[in-house]
Amino acid sequence: MTSDIPRPPDHMSPEEFRRNGHAMIDWVANYLQTADDFPVFSQVEPGEVAAMIPDAASEAGEPFEALLRDLDDVVMPGITHWQSPNWFAYFPANTSPPSILAELASAGLGVQGMLWSTSPAATEIESKVLDWLVDMMELPQSWKSTGPGGGVIQMSASDSTHAVLVVARHRNRERGHAEDMVVYASTQAHSSVAKGCTVAGIGHVREIAVDDTWAMRPDALRKAVEADLADGLLPIAVVSVVGTTGTTAVDPVSGIADVASEHNLWHHVDAAYAGNAMVCEEFRHHIKGVDRVDSYTFNPHKWMMVNFDCNVLWVADRVPLIETLSVLPPYLVNKATESGAVIDYRDWHVPLGRRFRALKLWWVIRSYGISGIQALIRSHVVLAGSLADRIVSDDRFDLFAPHPFGLVCFTHRGGNDTTSALADALNNSGKVAVTPSTLDGTAYIRVVVGQARTTSHHVDELWNLIDALAPSVSR
């Protein structure tokens, strides 16, 4: 070979990587200790971060020190601190030290687990750890990889819900047009159901009425299905939500399973947030009937200290999923696949490529143990209860909904404007993040106790802030 072959600059040798890597670890360790000190919501104005970045890439490379400097100067002002223990907004998106290190290992290995053969460890650890979770949460044994079902890690619950809606549509394709198909979910279901139907080209989403706990009414579901059948439409699927985004309402899985069974609907359970609580026995009554559903999804990246992205989808029967999503071009043919003895996860979702995400789930479960994860969930639920108690005993506030898990919803008796102003004042303080929302015309405040480092101290401080910022009610 000649020596005139252009060579890329030998940027960051393994030895330089080692030195820069130690600096990066120190930076992250420092962040884990100081995340509490930043305003929780980023305070920048639109365009402010972009304005600090040159308009064009540079011809020459830059040293790592420049990147680290800009991490502090350019990136940090534009960060909203999901990892602050004062994070009470949306649902949490927890990370944890072992999860961070697993992401580092995964990025270093740089494998692509589309097929079993392209890294058997990525596939086999994924199947094994999802089997662990079945036992940890007392889910149906048939969902294990050794049974007719199976689990797969996807990017988000939206992806999983979309995927099963596609399967439901696909298996009914001989019955009529997608535009005439109907999917059912409560008025409180996550936006991913409507979005999933739009993306899948399913014509109708019926919002089913809820009871006074915001949970779906199976009788209303049955009536809606019957009405659609009478109109010549094609009911294909129902989504039960265990822990709605608005108020963590719990749809009655068993009652919905009755209707699903009567009408041969694919029954999907979206337990994105609350599914994590099933690691504790005392919450499992919320998913009674789960042995009769077709698919179930939850997000370890919400409340199990596994950093985003790590969503789990289980199906009771893997055949319709794989039949819908499998394509095998000649360049992916290989002996292991042909043997039928392995799982090729590319057939379980829309994308072909996949990162080695099972590593972080495995490391987090091993690091904390079942008891550690249970303790995390229980501490948050107790703390949420203590906050709810203080809200109930204060004559300025009303609880807006039951709080079966870590979410507390409340209103100010001064009405919508006062409630919204209180939410804004809390967020503008920079000291906490909460989520203002509305339901049936009522403004309320969502407070989720769920960040991995949140303790009674942070909840006390949150309450003190609410107490200080909320006006009294004139009588």
Residue of 39, 40, 85, 98 interacting with a second copy (CB under 8 A): 98
**How far, CA to CA in Å, does 112 sit from each of 123, 131, 335, 339?**
10, 22, 18, 21
Question: Under the criterion CB under 8 A, does residue 319 sit at the interface with a second copy?
Answer: no
Residue of 301, 318, 396, 412 interacting with a second copy (CB under 8 A): 301
Residue of 73, 130, 241, 369 interacting with a second copy (CB under 8 A): 369
Q: What x-and-dash track marks residues 143-172 binding a second copy by CB under 8 A?
A: ------------xxxxx--x---x--xx--
Restricted to residues 166-205, the positions that interact with a second copy (CB under 8 A) are 166, 169-170, 173, 177-179, 190-192, 194-196, 198-201
From CA 381, how far away is CA 129, in angstroms rounded?
Answer: 25
Bridging pattern class, strands 397-399 and 311-315:
unpaired
Q: What x-and-dash track marks residues 252-271 binding a second copy by CB under 8 A?
A: --------------------
Restricted to residues 106-145, the positions that interact with a second copy (CB under 8 A) are 106-112, 116-122, 124-125, 127-128, 131-133, 135-136
Choose one: 248-256, 284-292, 334-342, 464-472; the region binding a second copy (CB under 8 A): 334-342
Restricted to residues 394-413, the positions that interact with a second copy (CB under 8 A) are none
Directed axis angle between helix 157-171 and helix 191-200, to 10°? 50
Closest to a second copy by CB, 363 or 405: 363
Question: Under the criterion CB under 8 A, does residue 471 sit at the interface with a second copy?
Answer: no
From CA 124, how far away is CA 101, in angstroms rounded?
Answer: 20
Q: Which residue has the tokens 């799982």?
A: 343
Restricted to residues 20-79, the positions that interact with a second copy (CB under 8 A) are 20-22, 24-33, 41-42, 44, 46-50, 53, 55-62, 64, 66-67, 71, 74-79
- Tokens for 65, please give them: 């020190």
Residue of 404, 437, 447, 462 interacting with a second copy (CB under 8 A): 437
Question: Looking only at Cα atoms, what is the longest distance across the chain?
Answer: 90
- Tokens for 336, please give them: 């292991």
Question: Under the criterion CB under 8 A, does residue 376 sit at the interface with a second copy?
Answer: yes
From CA 358, how far away is CA 353, in angstroms rounded?
Answer: 14
**How far, CA to CA in Å, does 320 sit from each of 239, 296, 332, 338, 404?**
17, 15, 21, 19, 34
Question: Under the criterion CB under 8 A, does residue 371 sit at the interface with a second copy?
Answer: yes
From CA 131, how far away is CA 125, in angstroms rounded?
Answer: 10
Question: Under the criterion CB under 8 A, does residue 308 sit at the interface with a second copy?
Answer: yes
Closest to a second copy by CB, 88 or 116: 116
From CA 165, how far away is CA 169, in angstroms rounded?
Answer: 6
Residue of 39, 85, 99, 220 interacting with a second copy (CB under 8 A): 99
User: With left for phi above 0 and alpha for psi between -120 and 50, is residue 104 left, alpha or beta?
Assistant: alpha
Question: Under the criterion CB under 8 A, does residue 393 sit at the interface with a second copy?
Answer: no
Read off φ and ψ for residue 254, nearest 5 degrees: -65, -45
**How far, CA to CA in Å, does 226 sit from each of 12, 220, 262, 299?**
65, 10, 11, 33
Smallest separation (angstroms) from a second copy to the CB of 258: 28
Residue of 37, 212, 232, 329 interacting with a second copy (CB under 8 A): 329
Smallest separation (angstroms) from a second copy to the CB of 474: 28
Question: Under the criterion CB under 8 A, does residue 423 sit at the interface with a second copy?
Answer: no
Restricted to residues 221-250, the positions that interact with a second copy (CB under 8 A) are 245-246
